[in-house]
Structure formats: structure tokens, C-alpha cells
Structure 1
């Protein structure tokens, strides 16, 4: 295992919920928060707390709007979020001998 790989892990992705959120967002252009909540199996408050932390870190962009008359919230990875996640995953692969 490379110590350098360990040093490239991003602490913001060390939480399993955040890792799941970013992994889910990596696969799509954007996702509505209801779909994220259901896919990951977390409560509204947990989702809100972790999305806010990821937004503060510059990894996720939150957009609010309406579908018809119903309010909706969407999340998407920023370009820096995509890059940070890719580096984090690569470091995990190196640590585990899979990359």
C-alpha cells in the first residue's frame, strides 16, 4: 500500500453517506433529492445535512425550482467534485491493490 495514496483520500468522502451521495451523483447529470434519499435509504434531515456539507466544500451544486406547482430540489456534482471523487476512488483502488 502506498502512503501517498492514503494521503490523497478526501476526508469529505470518508463518511459512508457522503460517499454514497457523491457516487450516486457521479452516475448522472443531476438528481432530485427525493430520488437520492430513496436510493440511499436516508432521512430528509440526514440528506440535507450531508448535501449542505458537500455544497459548502464546493463538491455539489444545489438547484431549487418547480415541476408544475410543486417545489423540487436537484443536486449535481461540480467539476471540482467530479475531479475530487475520481482522485478519491483512484486512491482507494491503489490502497486495495485494485488499481
Structure 2
């Protein structure tokens, strides 16, 4: 029996926290960058780096806009990202069951 593959894009601890947080939102919902940063207690630079990696994989979508005159960035989990997270959690559960 082969071990399930854990998606290396999601498997990094910080990216797993980002994706898990975004997955807790409803499908199609988004969160502002500052709110996500506060929830995850990450620096802006660290969060940006991990979001870029997730965006390159097609797992998150970032929308840059303005609220009045202030720039604002909103982040959402894409359908592909939601599927990847569900696959990741299923693989992790399978791996943990095999370890018993």
C-alpha cells in the first residue's frame, strides 16, 4: 500500500494555516489582507510571500482595489484551492489512519 501524497504547496505550515483559514469562509467569500494577517499573526511580508506561492498554484485569487482613496487587497480561495485543500485533508487523514 502506498502512502498518500501531501500537496507540497499546502504542506508548508504557514500556507496550511492560510488555506485552512480561507477554506473556513463560504465558497466565493473573501477576506481583506489586513484581517487575514491579523488572524494568522503573520508579518505582511511573510503573508505576501506565502500568498504569492498559493496564487502561482492557482489556489488563491487576490483582488487589488480601492476603498475610497486607500488601496485594498482581498483574498479568496479558488475552486481549485478548495479542491486541493479537501484532497490534502483526505490524504492526511488516510496517512494518520495508516499510522495507527
Aligned counterpart, 1:3: 2
User: Helix, strand or coil: the match of 1:75?
Assistant: strand
Quick check: 88-97 or 44-53, which moved more?
A: 88-97
For the residues of structure 2 that align with 1:25 and 1:46, how far apart are their CA atoms? 17
Unaligned runs of 5+ in 2: none
Aligned length: 95
TM-score normalised by the chain length of structure 2? 0.88
Structure 2 Cα separation of the partners of residues 14 and 83 of structure 1: 14
Q: What SS does the aligned partner of 1:3 have? A: coil
The secondary structure found in structure 2 opposite 1:58 is: coil
Q: Which runs of 5+ in 1 are unaligned?
A: none
User: TM-score, normalization: structure 1?
Assistant: 0.89
In the alignment, the residues of structure 2 paired with residue 11 and residue 55 of structure 1 have an alpha-carbon distance, to the nearest angstrom, of: 14
Instruction: Give the distance between the partners of 2:24 and 2:69, measured in 1 at CA.
Output: 28
Tell me the equivalent position of 2:31. Answer: 31
CA RMSD of aligned residues (A): 1.5
